[in-house]
A = this chain, B = another copy of it.
Amino acid sequence: MATISVSIVNVTSYTGLELLRLLSQHPYFSVTSVTARSALGRRLGEVFPQFGVAGNISGDLNAKGISDLVITDEPQQTDLAFVCLPHAAAAESVLILLERGTKVVDLSADFRLRDVALYEEWYQHTHPVPALLATAVYGLCERYRERIQGATLVANPGCYATSVILALAPLLAANVVDREKGIISDSKSGVSGAGKEATARTHFVSVADNLSAYSVFAHRHVGEMLEQLKLDARDLIFTPHLLPIPRGILSTIYVHLKRETTAAEVASCFHDFYAGKPWVRVFATPKLPQIQFSLHTNYCDLGFCLAEDGRRLVLVSCVDNLLKGAAGQAVQNMNLMYGFKEQEGLQ
């Protein structure tokens, strides 16, 4: 079977490299074009010695020619492109790709929100191509499988947003949450979530042996959460924290229930919602997910504890921010766009 050609725009980002690693094993897709702003004209195997280094290597990546790909400024024509640029820059690249007839999975925030005003409020600048917002499908496969199957532009969800939305969606859909008392997501992320840029904040010495909260009441992923969960800003407090680990997200989420509920009812609510969804695992209470369990996998792991009063619920949601929170979910979307099983190339 002929493989489908794929390009990765900004391959040297953490998500770009993770996509490269995943696609090197995928049975139906091949990376044929990679772009970046630095290292132009060099082969991937030179820049990233971990991706095939010597003539006699018959290892995985080399087998599909990945170590020999040359980094270019602009992507070549391919069937599909993954765009791993920062927001605003991404939108411009996406527009060009779509005009060429290339399908796109955009990993930036540019097409995640339907509401331009919400976008401009949270991202503090004018949207470059608002006309495209209507075409874009929010790429949360567990909710929009059908729409993704027919999409030409998929907006891959944010990492924090994925962990929070997947945990809350079943309960909000079942209309059991007492929104009056407020929903809180206290989320913690590994450093790769902050991107590859070297800053005072991502310096090893700043992060090691430390924990810090940041962007309280002000993190950009909140827009996505509100729109997807149909919440008002005052319904949700989202507090992200920077963990001294390279990757992984754990969100501890607090909700009040409208009426006294049993643990079995809560479990049913999750099992029903995620029946037939291969990349969500629901833990049997009182077992709770830990970051290690979903690390290096595409799973979103969900678990919960219910207070004795049956009214107060603590949810724990874990994803690997580079997989289910980014590159893994992007491949899951690509699989759906081409009619393959969601699991292909992700196991």
Which residues 243-257 of A have a CB within 8 angstroms of B? 243-248, 250, 252, 254, 256
Are A283 and B53 within 8 A (Cβ)?
yes
Contact between chains at A53 and B282 (CB < 8 Å)? yes
Nearest-neighbour CB distance to chain B for A36, whole angstroms, equals: 13
**Interface stretch among A74-82, A112-120, A183-191, A328-336?**
A183-191
**Do the beta carbons of A182 and B292 come within 8 Å of each other?**
no
Inter-chain contact B57/A278, CB cutoff 8 Å: yes
Q: Quick one: which of B204, B216, B275, B314 contacts A244, CB cutoff 8 A?
A: B204
State the number of copies, please: 4
Measured CB to CB, the closest approach of chain B to A141, in angstroms, equals 13
A243: which B residues are within 8 A, CB to CB? 211, 243-244
Kindly list chain B residues whose C-beta atoms are within 8 Å of the C-beta of A245: 208-211, 244
Which of B237, B281, B293 lies in contact with A254, CB distance below 8 A? B237
Q: Would you give the shortest CB distance from A317 to chain B, in whole angstroms?
A: 11
Knowing A58-B278, A271-B56, say if A296 contacts B296 (CB, 8 Å).
Answer: yes
A173 at the interface (CB under 8 A from B): no
Q: Which of A5-52 contact B (CB under 8 A)?
A: 14, 25, 49-50, 52
Asked whether, in the complex, the Cβ of A274 is within 8 Å of the Cβ of B204, the reply is no
Q: Give the CA-CA distance A309 to B217 in the complex, in Å.
A: 11
- Chain B residues near A291: list those with CB within 8 A: 209-212
Q: Rank and list the top 6 A-B pairs by shortest CB-CB distance, nearest first.
A: A50-B293, A60-B347, A186-B186, A212-B290, A216-B305, A198-B198
For this complex, 8 residue pairs linking A to B, each with C-beta atoms less than 8 Å apart, are A55-B271, A59-B281, A204-B208, A209-B247, A212-B292, A213-B316, A237-B314, A241-B250
